[in-house]
Amino acid sequence: VSATGRSAADVLLDGETIAAVLAPGSTLLGHDLAASVDTVIDATGKYVIPGGIDAHTHMQLPFGGTSASDTFETGTRAAAWGGTTTIVDFAVQRAGERVQDGLAHWHELAAGNCAIDYGFHQIVGGVDAGSLAALPGLIDEGISSFKMFMAYPGVFYADDAQILRAMQVAADTGLLTMMHAENGPVIDVLAEQLIEKGKTSPYFHGVARAWQMEEEATHRAIMLSHLTGAPLYVVHVSAKQAVEQLAWARDNGQNVFGETCPQYLYLSLEDQLGASSEEWGDFEGAKWVCSTPLRSKHEGHQHHMWQALRTNDIQMVSTDHCPFCMKDQKTLGQGDFRAIPNGIGSVEHRMDLMYQGVVTGQITLERWVELTSTTPARMFGMYGKKGVIAPGADADIVVYDPAGHTSIGVGKTHHMNMDHSAWEGYEIDGHVDTVISRGKVVVDDGSYIGTKGDGRFVKRGLSQYLI
């Protein structure tokens, strides 16, 4: 299955790359194909797809007074289990730090530890003369995209003037600007006022992060993109009103893109209340605290997001994998939701959760491949090597069994380094059978058989969505 169609075929791998895609019954130098190769994987009745590319993960991210609980080792192994063969993680530059130093540190964290291939985006946590001057040099390092934050003042933040300057550099160089579009200063005031009224439970995280402030920030980012000519990629879109802004900008001819995440397709603010009898939920709700937040199901965001995936108003699905345990991590925010480390862990489940959209008739099989592999490869300058089953491409391949089944949850399918799952109890009609990463089988029928350090750094080119 590719982003453009499906057919019965044999895929011939040679070492780390794909050698040929052959019609069934093809021979090799006059010999039967199966007799001419070392290993045969029988995928009869199953889908053979390009390995998943999760273009938004945060392994080991220092955030909220702690660090994301998956290391590059545990997180990439969980990704492999779930049919993802490449991640693009975010190297972090904090305000006052040199971009080069932040990036070097991220290379140290990842090198030799990953189960699958990995690339980096650059977080620019502080936009100043030094970081602006460092941006163009990222391209030679194989890092063709950087993220700024309109949220999180005092942690990672850029004001409009800083965004303008960074986008001007992006427009000049071909770097792709990624934006966390939420109006942080306003959200922080709303959060403070809720706390003052004693509204401290995790539920109020979602109340404070009002959709109006996602719509507003998305619009502001779009207009700065229009002004500067820098293409824009808005990360983790959750509000239907933000989608409408992106659709409007695209209809006006702007080169802007949106990413959503499985949590915004399936989960809602009301789910976050859980089974609690208390009006505003109990602390269990902290499991689902992420930014942008889960949106109310009464407003129809989730339905709108699936629709946007069909109409191409949203182009990609990544996880924003940013796991924190309840114990000693999420619990930092007991009594004050502002201190709950933000993030949900999903890197293992993205391919399954999105396949469920095929089962329920929300997206086509081809769109599944496009959203989870082919567009991420093109968007972030890896296509040809990644995101496609074609001669010369890396042999990153998943055999997916539509007749199989996957039960998600702690003690079931759950290999992420977390003491809970935001997806506890989810049942998937489908199963990741075999995962091949650059020609090596790393997952075989539920068993991980790869080795730490199999994954290599991917030097990315410029986005193939630049015009």
One-letter-per-residue 3-state SS of 388-457: CCCCCCECCEEEEECCCCEEECCCCECCCCCCCCCCCCCEECCEEEEEEECCEEEEECCEECCCCCCCCE
Number of shown-chain residues binding Zn ion (CB under 5 A)? 2
* Residue 90, strand partner residues: 121
Q: Is residue 322 a contact point for ligand URP (CB under 6 A)?
A: yes
**DSSP reduced 3-state for 256:** strand
Paired tokens of 379: 């968007």
Q: In the set 50, 231, 343, 376, which binds ligand URP (CB under 6 A)?
A: 343
Handedness of CA 366, 18, 377, 147 (dihedral sign): positive
CA 441, chain centre distance (Å): 23
Which is closer to Zn ion, CB of 188 or CB of 366? 188
H runs (alpha helix) in 82-183 = 99-110, 129-134, 160-173
Q: How far is the CB of 110 from ligand URP (least distance, A)?
A: 17
The answer to whether the CB of 332 falls within 8 A of the CB of 341 is: yes
Nearer to ligand URP, 113 or 346 (CB): 346
Report CA-CA distances (Å) from 314 to 144, 239, 465: 21, 12, 14
Exactly one of 46, 77, 165, 180 binds ligand URP (CB under 6 A); that residue is 180
Q: Is 180 in the site for Zn ion (CB under 5 A)?
A: yes
| Binding partner of residue 290 among ligand URP, Zn ion, none, CB cut-off 5 to 8 Å per kind | ligand URP
- Residues 6+ away with beta carbon under 8 Å from 131: 93, 98, 99, 124
- Alpha-carbon span 76 to 84, nearest angstrom: 8
Binder of Zn ion out of 320, 348, 394, 433 (CB under 5 A): 320
Among 178, 232, 290, 399, binds ligand URP (CB under 6 A): 290
Of 106, 151, 155, which Cα lies nearest the Cα of 126? 155
Nearest residue (CB) to ligand URP, 124 versus 322: 322
Q: Select from Zn ion, ligand URP, none the partner in contact with residue 342, using the beta carbon and a kind-dependent cut-off of 5 to 8 Å.
A: ligand URP
Question: Residue 126 is which amino acid?
Answer: G
433 binds Zn ion (CB under 5 A): no
What angle in degrees, to the nearest 10, is found between the helix axes of 240-251 and 211-228?
A: 20
CB of 236 or CB of 330, closer to ligand URP? 236
Q: Tell me whether residue 77 or residue 236 sits nearer to ligand URP (CB atom).
A: 236
Q: How far apart are CA 465 and CA 467, in angstroms?
A: 6
190-249 residues near ligand URP, rule: CB under 6 A = 236
Task: Tell me the number of residues near ligand URP by CB under 6 A.
Answer: 9
Query: In the complex, what is the shortest distance from the CB of residue 55 to Zn ion, in angstroms, rounded to a whole number?
Result: 10
Token representation of residue 385 = 């090597």
Name the residue with the smallest CB distance to ligand URP: 342
Helices (H) and strands (E) in the chain, counts: 14, 21
Q: Which is nearer to ligand URP, 16 or 419 (CB)?
A: 419
**Binding partner of residue 408 among Zn ion, ligand URP, none, CB under 5 to 8 Å per kind?**
none
262 binds ligand URP (CB under 6 A): no
What is the helix (H) or strand (E) element at residue 88, kind and residue range? strand 84-93
| Residue nearer to ligand URP on the CB measure, 214 or 370 | 214
The one of ligand URP, Zn ion, none whose footprint includes residue 343, by CB under 5 to 8 A per kind, is ligand URP
Shortest reach from residue 242's CB to ligand URP, in Å = 14
- Closer CB to ligand URP, residue 62 or residue 137? 62
Decide: helix, strand or coil at residue 225. Answer: helix
Give 383's DSSP letter.
B
Site for ligand URP in 50-79 (CB under 6 A): 58
CA distance 402 to 408: 16
- Position 362 contacts ligand URP (CB under 6 A): no
> Which C-beta is closer to ligand URP: that of 150 or that of 273?
150
| Binding interface with Zn ion (CB under 5 A) | 180, 320
| Binding interface with ligand URP (CB under 6 A) | 58, 180, 236, 290-291, 320, 322, 342-343
